[in-house]
């Protein structure tokens, strides 16, 4: 109660009590009368002005609106309830192909089993798959290797929320028995993995990395976890995320970068990327709204794939922004991510935003046949990373022809990102109104508690107009990218990360070396909507001819 009084007092001083009344922003129940002075206070926030007659005419309507707001708040909305408005990233006249062809990942005929458990732990999925398929390695042994490494290193990295040892070993035994009986489910048969702890698994807690939800249990299992289970994958643990999908700070600490324990692992897929980097799992599932796969993949030196918006079901995942959230794999290689995406892919009647589209990967396609562009201005100037320029030279040396272009749009993406803040404030409405946001560890100006409060003052009319601008941005990016199969860009240059998250385009983030401080760096490949196969094809080609992704954090190479 005292906390509510303090916050209300602070808001009244900075915004005027009148504007709080008019906008219906409360930390409790509003009592008071809307007056012309109330409208003046709100108008300052909205950037509008009204005549005395106009204000007088609005009084009854605003009073009725406020009453409606108070009444609507009596209806409890769970985070899992989406709005009736569904975002669709498809530009005019575009529809993805839906005919699914046989997949050819080009898995090798034979892989030699390493002698040491450490060397086994750092193998990519596409090699582990061959070892299990050929009965050189059992799922039980492989699962025990990763469980032991999680027990040994997860406290140091602060990357684990829930270890699922018993159910993992039970599933691994089942996979070994099936294989012995001649039933092979595919490349993920018997392969251990982890998930970001915003994905529900029945019988476990799903904490969202935030103290108010640290004991939360959801009576369902996320659709993508069901997909992976059917493909034979073995879930060994739920990994940390920055609270409510921002950063690497969660209620239990700060998830660490295995390459530098003095540094956080970035986020918000902090635990997933850290665990893969340290060899605690061969792959993990992350999510991205505005960089939460790309950023931790960069920091931890692993390979992350952000799929096209709508390709992967979000059912059973925490909602932050219904129109921007995406789920994708983090692993040791582009090819691994393609294998995993083929399992995650597919429409889901429980998620209205999913779009039916095939994922057709054929390793026999010549990567040199791809038309590859690059954002030329981002590779010029004194501040450009040598590692980024080296990727272009590598591509040229491999026979890939590069076409220069510029990232130009008439619609600035910065303001449209406000849609994320508004949707997040709605997704965590009660967190703000009931004062639970005090329990979050991060409380600075750029943290969720303050961002959610401020977003409540954003006008609904402006939100709709931002959505309309987003439609134009989608059309412009489609026109820019449709003539290329892949576009190469520094991962954080210009506004490409903002733009492509808003337009729903896929991205593949690959390691490309280290900076002067010894921390990993990355490059990003962008693709057209639902053309992740081309990203994987080019990424695999680069990684088969370089060794950036094979480096191991020295402290965990044991």
Q: How far apart are CA 493 and CA 309, in angstroms?
A: 21
Answer whether residue 1 shows pLDDT above 70.
no
Examine the pLDDT at 384 and tell me if it is beyond 70. Answer: yes
Residues 6+ apart with CB under 8 A from 333: 124, 125, 126, 303, 539, 540, 543, 549
pLDDT value at residue 454: 93
Residue 177, judged by CB atoms within 10 A of its CB (0-12, 13-18, 19+), counts as exposed
Q: What does the pLDDT look like over 228-258, one tens digit per residue?
A: 999 999 999 999 999 999 999 999 999 999 9
For residues 386 and 512, what is the distance between their CA atoms, to the nearest angstrom?
A: 10
CB-based contact 248:267 (threshold 8 Å) = yes
Q: What's the half-sphere exposure (Cβ side, CA atoms, 13 Å) at 143?
A: 29
pLDDT band at 517 (very low <50, low <70, confident <90, very high): confident
Q: What is the pTM of this model?
A: 0.93
> Where are the CATH 3.90.1300.10 domain residues in the chain?
117-411+467-546
Pairing mode of beta strands 192-196, 283-288: parallel
Please answer whether residues 295 and 267 qualify as being in contact, where contact means their C-beta atoms are separated by less than 8 angstroms. Answer: yes
Quick one: pLDDT at residue 446? 94
- Domain 117-411+467-546 fold is Amidase signature (AS) enzymes (3.90.1300)
Q: In this structure, are strands 234-239 and 192-196 parallel, antiparallel, or unpaired? A: parallel
Averaged confidence pLDDT in the chain: 94
Q: Which two tokens mark 546? A: 């370089």
Write phi, then psi, for 65 (nearest 5 degrees).
-60, -45
Residue 12 pLDDT exceeds 80: no
Count of CB atoms situated within 10 Å of the CB of 396: 11
Residue 504 confidence (pLDDT): 98
- The percentage of residues in the chain with a pLDDT greater than 70, rounded to a whole number, is 94
Taking alpha carbons only, the member of 161, 153, 261 closest to residue 557 is 153
User: pLDDT tens digit string along 67-93?
Assistant: 988 989 999 999 999 999 999 999 999
Tell me which residue has tokens 């597919």. Answer: 346
pLDDT at residue 24 is higher than 90: no
Q: How many residues does the chain have?
A: 558
| Section 417-441 average pLDDT | 96
CA distance 338 to 318: 24
Alpha carbon 431 to chain centroid distance?
A: 22
The predicted structure's pLDDT at residue 382: 87
Cβ-in-10-Å burial (0-12, 13-18, 19+) of 504 comes to buried
Question: What is the reported pLDDT for 210?
Answer: 98
Checking if the pLDDT of 401 tops 60, the result is: yes
Give me the helices (H) in 403-509, please.
413-416, 418-427, 429-433, 448-455, 460-481, 496-503
Q: Say which residues have a Cβ less than 8 Å from residue 407's Cβ, sequence separation at least 6.
A: 375, 377, 378, 480, 489, 494, 495, 496, 499
Torsion angle in degrees (nearest 10) through CA of 243, 245, 246, 248:
60
Query: How confident is the model over 459-469, as a mean pLDDT?
Result: 96
R_g of the chain, CA atoms, integer Å: 24
Q: Which of 319, 144, 280 is nearest to 552 (CA)?
A: 280
């Amino acid at each position: 109660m005292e906390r509510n009084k303090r916050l209300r007092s602070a808001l009244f001083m900075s915004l005027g009590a009148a504007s709080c009344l008019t906008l219906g922003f409360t930390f409790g129940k509003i009592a008071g009368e809307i007056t012309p002075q109330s409208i003046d206070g709100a108008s300052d926030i909205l950037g509008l002005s009204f005549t005395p007659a106009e204000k007088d005419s609005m009084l009854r309507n605003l009073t009725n609106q406020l009453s409606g707001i108070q009444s609507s708040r009596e209806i409890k909305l769970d985070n899992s309830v989406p709005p009736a408005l569904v975002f669709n990233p498809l530009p005019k006249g575009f529809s993805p192909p839906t005919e699914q062809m046989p997949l050819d990942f080009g898995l090798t005929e034979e892989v030699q089993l390493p002698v040491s458990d450490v060397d086994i732990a750092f193998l990519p999925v596409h090699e582990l798959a061959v070892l299990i398929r050929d009965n050189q390695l059992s799922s039980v042994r492989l699962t025990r290797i990763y469980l032991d490494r999680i027990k040994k290193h997860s406290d140091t990295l602060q990357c684990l929320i829930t270890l699922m040892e018993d159910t993992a070993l039970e599933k691994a035994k089942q996979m070994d028995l099936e294989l012995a009986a001649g039933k092979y489910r595919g490349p993920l048969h018997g392969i251990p993995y982890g998930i970001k702890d915003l994905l529900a698994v029945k019988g476990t807690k799903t904490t969202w990395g935030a103290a108010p939800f640290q004991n939360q249990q959801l009576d369902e299992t996320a659709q993508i976890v069901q997909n992976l289970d059917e493909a034979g994958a073995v879930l060994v643990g739920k990994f940390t995320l920055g609270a409510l999908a921002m950063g690497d700070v969660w209620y239990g600490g700060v998830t660490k970068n295995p390459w530098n324990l003095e540094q956080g692992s970035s986020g918000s897929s902090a635990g997933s990327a850290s665990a893969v980097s340290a060899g605690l799992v061969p792959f993990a599932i992350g999510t991205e709204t505005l960089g939460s796969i790309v950023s931790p993949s960069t920091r931890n030196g692993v390979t992350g794939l952000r799929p096209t918006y709508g390709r992967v079901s979000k059912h059973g995942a925490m909602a932050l922004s219904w129109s921007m959230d995406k789920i994708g794999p983090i692993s040791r290689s582009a090819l691994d991510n393609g294998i995993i995406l083929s399992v995650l892919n597919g429409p889901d009647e429980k998620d209205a935003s999913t779009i039916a589209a095939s994922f057709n990967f054929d390793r026999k396609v010549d990567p040199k046949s791809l038309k590859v562009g690059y954002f030329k201005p981002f590779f010029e100037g004194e501040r450009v990373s040598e590692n980024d320029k080296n990727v272009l030279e590598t591509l040229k040396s491999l026979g890939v022809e590069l076409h220069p272009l510029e990232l130009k749009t008439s619609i600035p993406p910065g303001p449209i990102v406000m849609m994320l803040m508004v949707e997040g404030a709605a997704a965590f409405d009660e967190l703000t109104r009931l004062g639970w946001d005090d329990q979050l560890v991060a409380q600075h100006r750029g943290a969720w508690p303050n961002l959610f409060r401020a977003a409540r003052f954003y006008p609904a009319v402006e939100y709709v107009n931002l959505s309309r601008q987003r439609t134009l941005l989608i059309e412009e990016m489609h026109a820019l990218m449709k003539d290329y199969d892949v576009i190469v860009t520094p991962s954080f240059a210009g506004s490409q990360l903002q733009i492509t998250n808003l337009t729903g385009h896929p991205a593949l983030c690959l390691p490309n070396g280290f900076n002067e401080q010894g921390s990993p760096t990355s490059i990003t490949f962008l693709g057209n909507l639902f053309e992740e196969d081309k990203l994987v094809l080019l990424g695999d080609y680069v990684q088969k001819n370089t060794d950036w992704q094979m480096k191991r954090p020295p402290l965990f190479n044991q």
